[in-house]
């Protein structure tokens, strides 16, 4: 049975991916801070598919968390066929008023831990001649976003980093897929301080549909997968728009 390591698997896209992979007979290794939430995900998977996920409760926003996670995996004699770097969070607000500690944790989780896990796991995938890495970015990666400056910048990093290693690793048997969802109905809205955007998130797709899209993009070995026809159109049109205009439009959307 192939295994899939999913970070941020306690809710939202991560938990839905854990269920989807289990349904397809993958052994999930689910990781997040909140063990109680991981237990609920594991119970659902066990009851529906008779597969017991491995649960690792760990705060991935700490600088050494990637190494700690790999220690857990090695002690359990587990291998990772598929890595899903899903864990991440945003922080909506004025940059000059952002909490520096929270900002640092966001950058560590969204970029550093993702990069380190990819680096630590890829060599074994290459050795086995098979592997897939799914990195969850965002449509925010395609332009600077005022009032969401650090988050958008971290996702731009994820996208460019992922596309670069996809080129490097493909000849070695490892495929990398970057998934860019837009607004998605999950805990993200509340955790990022975007409560006033109820209308936007009310119309947004549920996490299940984004997770299913990510899984199918992996099967198709896509390098970049943008969820939703509107999102694909908007990101395409940005290529023909002046940079200053795209920033102004993004700022207006975040203010409305």
| pLDDT tens digits for range 151-209 | 999 999 999 999 999 999 999 999 999 999 977 755 554 554 555 555 545 566 889 99
Give the model confidence (pLDDT) of 36-62 as tens digits: 999 999 999 999 999 999 999 999 999
Q: Could you tell me the residue ranges of all domains in the chain?
A: 3-255
pLDDT at 182: 78
Percent of the chain with pLDDT over 70: 84
Environment class of residue 196 by beta-carbon count within 10 Å: exposed (0-12), middle (13-18) or buried (19+)?
A: exposed
H helix and E strand count, the chain? 11, 7
151 assigned to active site: yes
Pick the CATH number of 3-255 from 2.40.160.10, 3.30.230.70, 3.40.50.720, 2.40.50.100: 3.40.50.720
For the segment 69-78, what is each residue's pLDDT rounded down to a tens digit?
999 999 999 9
185 SS3 class = strand
The mean pLDDT of the chain is 89
Report the C-alpha gap between 105 and 246 in whole angstroms. Answer: 28
- Tokens found for residue 245: 């205009």
Strands (E), 68-107: 82-85
pLDDT of residue 22: 98
> Residues 151, 157, 167, 227: which is the catalytic one?
151
Residues 83-98 pLDDT 10s:
999 999 998 889 999 9
């Amino acid at each position: 049975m192939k295994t899939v390591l999913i970070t941020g698997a306690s809710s939202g896209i991560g938990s839905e991916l854990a269920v989807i992979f289990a349904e397809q007979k993958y052994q999930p290794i689910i990781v997040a801070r909140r063990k109680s939430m991981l237990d609920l995900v594991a119970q659902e998977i066990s009851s529906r598919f008779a597969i017991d996920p491995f649960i690792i409760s760990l705060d991935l926003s700490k600088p050494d968390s990637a190494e700690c996670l790999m220690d857990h995996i090695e002690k359990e004699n587990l291998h990772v066929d598929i890595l899903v770097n899903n864990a991440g969070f945003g922080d909506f607000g004025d940059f000059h008023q952002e909490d520096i500690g929270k900002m640092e944790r966001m950058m560590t989780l969204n970029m550093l831990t993702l990069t380190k896990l990819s680096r630590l796991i890829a060599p074994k995938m290459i050795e086995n001649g098979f592997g897939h890495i799914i990195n969850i970015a965002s449509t925010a990666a395609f332009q600077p976003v005022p009032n969401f400056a650090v988050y958008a910048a971290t996702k731009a990093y994820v996208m460019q980093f992922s596309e670069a290693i996809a080129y490097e690793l493909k000849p070695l048997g490892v495929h990398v897929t970057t998934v860019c969802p837009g607004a998605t109905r999950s805990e993200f809205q509340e955790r990022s301080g975007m409560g006033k955007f109820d209308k936007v998130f009310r119309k947004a797709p549920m996490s299940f549909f984004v997770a299913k899209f990510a899984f199918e993009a992996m099967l198709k070995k896509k390098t970049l997968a943008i969820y939703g026809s509107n999102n694909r159109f908007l990101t395409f049109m940005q290529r023909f728009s002046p940079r200053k205009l795209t920033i102004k439009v993004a700022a207006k959307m975040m203010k409305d």
